[in-house]
Amino acid sequence: MASVLDGLVDMHVHSGPSPFPRRFDHVEAAQDGARIGMRAMVAKSHHHNTQMDVLAMKGRLADVAATVYGGIALNSTVGGLNPHAVRMCLRMGGKVVWFPTISSGRHLECHPEDGAFPTTTVPLTLDRIDIVDQAGALRPEVIEILDEIKEQRAVVNGGHMYPEYIRTLFQAAKDRGIKRMVVSHPDYVIGAEPELCRELIDLGAFVEHEVGMYDPEGSQKWDPRQLMTWVEKLGPEHVVLASDFGQAANPKPVDAWLRVGAALLDLGLPEKDLRRMVRDNPAYLLDLDA
């Protein structure tokens, strides 16, 4: 199994630091990735710009085979739709901009506990962040952020927003010539059906599914056949697999990769399709071969 995953790129790792309890920090996550020959990973936080973490850990990362990148999620703890924060993150080497996740209206409907999803280690406050105004038009800050994303050849991720907001965002991104777009876990929080995901794919997006949700030892324990159905409906050329692990209560991402990867192969997924989703597609998104 490890040989099939060799060169894997994990675009969704919840390593620390974080106000949520984490199993390990970014360096330890990258070190553990050596078990499957991980090429690169993106450290995600719902609360802060992780590129600064990566730069602060540069010395410890020097001898780690996998390259670690950061990014920024546009929640209230970074000022929401903050072009200045995005500009700093990307120009310091960050690779991904997640539009509102835990500050999105959709997430707050699903998890109304005001920033305590799942349970923060310190008390936090959280405001709702919407990308459109009362007339349904994109806020000017969104356009400024998209222009910066294009200039830096970064990835725009739809966060945890309503599906229609993600579609509006991706249409604007496409209109500006952005080619690297991702919608994460469409069947978790977001609620995007395959038909809508095909619309997003037509705009140039990849659909990211999280193997952590299908790990029998994780907190979700979804049936891998559900993931296989998604891949069959959308096509592996449009799908990215990521772990979404790093939480203290969940297994290590590598263990989820090994278990869920094996389950997909047992269900009949060709090895070449698995490699495309875990290696080739995310490598394109992160522009690793430029």
Cβ-contact 107, 130 below 8 angstroms? no
Tens digit of pLDDT for each residue in 160-200?
Answer: 999 999 999 999 999 999 999 999 999 999 999 999 999 99
Q: How many other CB atoms are there within 10 angstroms of residue 132's CB atom?
A: 16
Q: Which amino acid is at 282?
A: P
Cα–Cα dist 234/148, whole Å = 29
Q: Is 193 inside any structural domain?
A: yes
Predicted local distance difference test score (pLDDT) of residue 16: 98
Q: Is 61 inside any structural domain?
A: yes
Q: What is the DSSP string of 45-61?
A: -SSS-HHHHHHHTHHHH
pLDDT band for position 290 (cuts 50, 70, 90)? confident
pLDDT band for position 115 (cuts 50, 70, 90)? low
Which helix or strand (DSSP H or E) is residue 71 part of? Answer: strand 71-73
Q: Is 48 inside any structural domain?
A: yes
Cα–Cα dist 105/86, whole Å = 21
Q: Quick check: pTM over 0.95? A: yes
Residue with tokens 């692990």: 245
Q: Is 32 inside any structural domain?
A: yes
Q: Is 241 inside any structural domain?
A: yes
Tally the C-alpha atoms within 13 A of residue 278's C-alpha that lie toward its C-beta: 30
Cα–Cα dist 253/280, whole Å = 19
Token code pair at residue 90: 């990307």
CATH number at residue 234: 3.20.20.140
Cβ-contact 74, 45 below 8 angstroms? no
Cα–Cα dist 228/272, whole Å = 14
Predicted local distance difference test score (pLDDT) of residue 192: 97
Q: What is the DSSP letter of 249?
A: T
Q: How many domains does the chain have?
A: 1
Residue with tokens 């996740």: 101
Q: What sign has the CA pseudo-torsion 39, 101, 195, 253?
A: positive
Q: How many other CB atoms are there within 10 angstroms of residue 84's CB atom?
A: 13
Predicted local distance difference test score (pLDDT) of residue 132: 97
Q: Look at residue 117 and tell me whether its pLDDT is greater than 80.
A: no
> For all residues of the chain together, what is the average pLDDT?
96
Cβ-contact 24, 60 below 8 angstroms? no
Cα–Cα dist 161/158, whole Å = 6
Residue 221, classed as helix, strand or coil, is coil
Q: Look at residue 135 and tell me whether its pLDDT is greater than 80.
A: yes
Beta bridge partners of 245: 13
Structural domain range at position 218: 2-285
Q: Look at residue 118 and tell me whether its pLDDT is greater than 90.
A: no
Residue 187, classed as helix, strand or coil, is helix
Tens digit of pLDDT for each residue in 62-80?
Answer: 999 999 999 999 999 999 9
Cα–Cα dist 210/221, whole Å = 12
User: Is residue 17 reached through a cis peptide bond, with omega within 30 degrees of 0 on the bond before it?
Assistant: yes
Q: Is 290 inside any structural domain?
A: no
For the residues 226-234, what does the mean pLDDT come to?
98
List, in order, residues 6 or more apart from 30 with CB less than 8 Å away.
38, 41, 61, 64, 65, 66, 68
